[in-house]
């Protein structure tokens, strides 16, 4: 993980250390239109690497069919590695394609936790994948620092998650140049994803002092940089800080595996209604905070975060409400929608969304276990 200005120019030098010689560049049409790829290609060649080909066909909400085409493109072009230049959808496509490129098979063969091929049956050492480097062009998902990849099975209307150690990128380059042309709405939504990672991880059942350190540092940087990065896109320092904060915020989740019920609801809304991940999190998070704050121990943890964010609270009893109000106000100030009904979700969707959210892995680590009725109330409350 390296962070700083003009590091794109060192892409080849850094990626060569990981054994790459001919990477398939994975990206999307928007990034291709910014001129960033030419600089990345120059950076590769400066280090003695030659791009095998460019796969720029990743949509906003990538699917298993795209992953399979990406893996086939890597094979056909004679690539020996992957370089993802894009946001979460691009990085996750490259990660999942790498699994197919290396091991063959279909995406759903590797669905779930620790499902990649191993040296021995069971939980033996996982076999390595081809080298993967990430240059994130959004600050939020943290996929460049995680072992997870989420892609959609559009036919089934579900998000498919792969999570295993070989999916960790070998190299991530956090250069603010990569987010220079990011639209404000995308900067806001992806920034709220990072904020949701930090807040959910800080109170989840797996929280611990090491993870807390990542959450608190990420949240302090988001506090100081998110609104600047959205409202003043020329602020390179703010954009650079948001890239670092996003990569920090994903680490305490077991590096991308688990968060809490805001993410469960976001995954359900993304899978069934195509709601953008960051937007769904931004809408769901205040409701998740109010629900969890009913537990006094969790409310006390929320008070830590409220203090860090400069939110006035009385005692711990009021901290959850104050933090939830602060997050909801931040969502509005960033220009994002505040209700699921504004993004295509209706009352008829509630039972199916609640059912999907109950079955999501993130619900397992939420500090307060919801009943099905409570989950439905949470989704209905966010409409
Ligand atoms: Fe997320």
Q: 324: how many CB neighbours lie within 10 A of its CB?
A: 22
pLDDT at position 175 over 90 = yes
Cβ 138 vs Cβ 87: under 8 Å? yes
Q: How far apart are CA 25 and CA 189, in angstroms?
A: 25
pLDDT at 256: 65
Could you tell me the distance, in angstroms and rounded to a whole number, from the CA of residue 70 to the centre of ligand 1?
A: 23
pTM of the entire predicted model? 0.96
Torsion angle in degrees (nearest 10) through CA of 64, 67, 72, 78:
-160
Å from CA of 248 to ligand 1 middle: 13
**C-alpha to C-alpha distance for 278 and 265, rounded to whole angstroms:** 11
Q: What is the pLDDT of residue 101?
A: 98
Whole-number Å distance, alpha carbon 277 to ligand 1 midpoint, is 7
What was the pLDDT predicted at 253?
82
Of 266, 299, 298, nearest in space to 283 by CA? 266
d(CA 279, CA 79): 35
pLDDT score of 124 more than 90: no
* Confidence band for 40, pLDDT divided at 50, 70 and 90: very high
Q: What is the mean pLDDT of the chain?
A: 96
Domains of the chain (ranges; CATH) run 2-179 (3.40.50.1970), 184-381 (1.20.1090.10)
Cα–ligand 1 centroid distance for 368 (angstroms): 19
Has residue 176 got a pLDDT over 80? yes
pLDDT tens for 246-270 read 999 999 887 666 899 999 999 999 9
Which pLDDT score is estimated for 123?
A: 74
Q: What are the tens digits of pLDDT across the range 340-360?
A: 999 999 999 999 999 999 999
pLDDT score recorded for residue 145: 95
Closest CA to 379 of 250, 275, 253: 275
Q: How far is the CA of 190 from the centre of ligand 1 (A)?
A: 8
**% the chain with pLDDT above 90:** 92
- From the CA of 199, how far away is ligand 1's center (Å)? 11
Residue-level pLDDT at 207 = 94
Please give the average per-residue pLDDT across 21-33, as a whole number.
97
Strand 132-136, strand 171-174: pairing = parallel
| Alpha helices, DSSP H, located in the chain | 11-16, 29-32, 36-46, 64-76, 88-103, 184-203, 209-231, 236-250, 261-273, 277-292, 296-308, 316-333, 350-358, 361-364, 372-381
CA of 173 to the centre of ligand 1 (A): 20
pLDDT over threshold 90, residue 61: no
Statement: residue 59 has pLDDT above 80 = yes
Distance between CA atoms of residues 91 and 185, nearest Å: 20
- Over residues 17-37, the mean pLDDT reads 96
pLDDT of residue 257: 66
Confidence of residue 317 (pLDDT cuts 50, 70, 90): confident
Give me ligand 1 centre to Cα 265, in Å: 11
Q: How far is the CA of 264 from the centre of ligand 1 (A)?
A: 10
3-state secondary structure of 83: strand
Q: With a cut of 80, say whether residue 121 has pLDDT above it.
A: no
Going from the Cα of 120 to the center of ligand 1, the distance in angstroms, rounded, reads 32
- How high is the pLDDT of residue 138? 97
Does 83 have pLDDT greater than 70? yes
- 46 alpha carbon – ligand 1 mean position (Å): 34
């Amino acid at each position: 993980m390296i962070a700083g200005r003009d590091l794109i120019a060192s892409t080849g030098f850094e990626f060569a250390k990981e054994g790459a010689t001919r990477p398939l560049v994975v990206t999307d049409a928007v990034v291709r239109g910014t001129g960033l790829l030419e600089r990345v290609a120059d950076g590769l060649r400066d280090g003695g690497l030659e791009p095998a080909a460019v796969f720029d066909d990743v949509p906003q909400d990538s699917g298993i069919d795209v992953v399979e085409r990406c893996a086939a493109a890597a094979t056909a072009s004679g690539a020996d590695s992957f370089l993802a230049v894009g946001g979460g959808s691009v990085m996750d496509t490259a990660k999942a394609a790498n699994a197919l490129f290396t091991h063959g098979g279909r995406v759903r063969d590797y669905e779930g936790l620790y499902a990649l091929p191993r040296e021995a049956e069971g939980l033996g050492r996982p076999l390595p994948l081809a080298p993967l480097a990430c240059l994130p062009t959004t600050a939020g998902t943290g996929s460049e620092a995680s072992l997870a990849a989420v892609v959609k099975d559009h036919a089934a209307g579900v998000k498919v998650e792969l999570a295993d150690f070989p999916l960790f990128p070998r190299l991530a380059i956090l250069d603010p140049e990569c987010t220079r042309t990011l639209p404000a709405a995308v900067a806001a939504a992806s920034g709220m994803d990072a904020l949701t990672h930090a807040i959910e991880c800080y109170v989840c059942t797996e929280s611990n002092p090491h993870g807390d350190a990542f959450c608190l540092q990420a949240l302090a940087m988001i506090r100081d940089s998110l609104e600047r990065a959205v409202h003043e896109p020329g602020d390179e320092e703010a954009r650079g800080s948001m890239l670092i904060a996003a990569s920090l915020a994903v680490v305490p989740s077991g590096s991308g595996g688990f968060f809490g019920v805001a993410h469960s609801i976001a995954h359900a809304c993304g899978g069934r209604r195509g709601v953008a991940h960051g937007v769904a999190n931004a809408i769901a998070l205040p409701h998740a905070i109010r629900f969890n704050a009913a537990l006094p121990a969790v409310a006390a943890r929320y008070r830590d975060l409220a203090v860090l964010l400069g939110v006035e609270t009385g005692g711990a009893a009021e901290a959850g409400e104050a933090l939830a109000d602060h997050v909801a106000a931040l969502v509005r100030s960033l220009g994002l929608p505040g209700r699921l009904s504004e993004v295509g979700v209706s009352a008829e969707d509630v039972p199916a969304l609640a059912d999907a959210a109950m079955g999501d892995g993130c619900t397992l680590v939420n500090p307060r276990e919801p009943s099905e009725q409570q989950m439905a109330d949470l989704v209905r409350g966010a409409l």
